[in-house]
Amino acid sequence: MNLTDETKNGVLVLSPQGRIDTRTSSEFEQAVMAHAIGPEGATQVVMNFGGLDYINSTGMRVLLILAKRLAGVKGKLVLCEMKEHILEVFKISGFNQILTITDTEADALQRF
Amino acid sequence: MAPRRGPAGKSKAPAFSCKLDKDLGELSEMLVALEEFAEKHGVSPLQTQRITLSVDELVTNIIKYGTRALEHAHIHLWATISDGTFHIEIEDHGIPFDPFHEAPVPDTTLPLEERPIGGLGVFLVQSLMTTTNYERIKDRNRITLTRSLTASDQEEAQ
């Protein structure tokens, strides 16, 4: 798992690559929270899943924590570019009802 | 691996077996190997991901909870492909636990602020697999999963 970050139009774009499983989810959590939470943290966040091959429920837990925290500070999380098998799991979990998911990163950036 | 009947009992069926301890690094490596096995035998990427995620969620629970008090977990996994079905068996020596009846069922309709953190793993397995079964055999837990490969591949799991 690797996480890159850049800022586009004042929105923090985080792009995890590789696999987020039980072993790597704490690393993912620390990296995400370091960027997006805290006094200097961003409140407007796009997560680009284009390079993500795999995520299990421990990784999805991190997204739920992030979304709740951002909602608490009037921020927002938008997910985009999800592969089919990942989108399927997000739909089964009802995450598509509580998180904003778009096809492309450009669409995601339009949501702010 | 000692000789043992495979889950489907067919000697010519493609078979995969693996033994692991309670080590998340070993689990990661096993999942990649299982993925390669499935893809090598023509299982589609979507079906492969359903299978590896299901195994991951169950074995993660065994490592984190079921075998927590044990020094070694002795988790065994067998997989075979036969008759258009992917069969999986997972055995461990941990505390008796039937994930399909004892794990709480999450409410996937709750709004963000009311959503509890966690508790999705077993629910995902039940949604992604065609059948799920649990048995306690002497001092072992045995989980049996099947995933039909002939059902429309693109059909969404429910």
Domain extent listing, chain A = 2-110
Q: How many domains does chain B have?
A: 1
Whether the pLDDT of residue B128 is over 50: the answer is yes
Residue B43 lies in a domain: yes
Residue B22 lies in a domain: yes
Predicted pLDDT of residue B3:
45
What residues of B are in contact with residue A91 (Cβ under 8 Å)? 156
Distance between A21 CA and the closest CA of chain B, angstroms: 7
Rounded mean pLDDT, A66-86: 95
- This prediction has a pTM of 0.92
Residue B5 lies in a domain: no
B7 — pLDDT class (breaks 50, 70, 90):
low
Residue B1 lies in a domain: no
Residue B45 lies in a domain: yes
Rounded mean pLDDT, A58-71: 95
Reported as a single tens digit per residue, the pLDDT across B11-40 is 688 999 999 998 999 999 999 999 999 999
Residue B144 lies in a domain: yes
- The answer to whether B25 contacts chain A (CB < 8 Å) is yes
Query: Residue B49 sits in which domain range?
Result: 15-148
**Which H/E stretch holds residue A3?**
strand A2-8
Superfamily of domain A2-110: STAS domain (3.30.750.24)
Chain A residues with a Cβ under 8 Å from any Cβ in chain B: 19, 21-24, 54, 56-58, 60-61, 64-65, 67-68, 71, 84-86, 88-89, 91-94, 97-99
Predicted pLDDT of residue B30:
96
- The answer to whether B64 contacts chain A (CB < 8 Å) is yes
**What is the residue-wise DSSP string for B62-102?**
IIIIITTTSS---EEEEEEEETTEEEEEEEE-SS---HHHH
For chain B, what is the mean pLDDT? 89
Domain harbouring B26, CATH code: 3.30.565.10
Whether the pLDDT of residue A27 is over 60: the answer is yes
Rounded mean pLDDT, B100-122: 93
Contact of B139 with A104, CB cutoff 8 Å? no
Reported as a single tens digit per residue, the pLDDT across A80-99 is 999 999 999 999 999 999 99
Contact of B75 with B1, CB cutoff 8 Å? no
CB contact under 8 A, A64 and B115: yes
CB contact under 8 A, A98 and B28: no
For chain A, what is the mean pLDDT? 94
Whether the pLDDT of residue B156 is over 60: the answer is no
What was the ipTM of the complex prediction? 0.93
B1 — pLDDT class (breaks 50, 70, 90):
very low
Q: Two tokens at B149?
A: 């490969």
Residue B158 lies in a domain: no
Cβ neighbours of residue B14 closer than 8 Å, sequence gap 6 or more:
B37, B41, B80, B81
Whether the pLDDT of residue B2 is over 90: the answer is no
CB contact under 8 A, B108 and A94: yes
Kindly state the DSSP code that residue A49 receives in the 8-state scheme. -
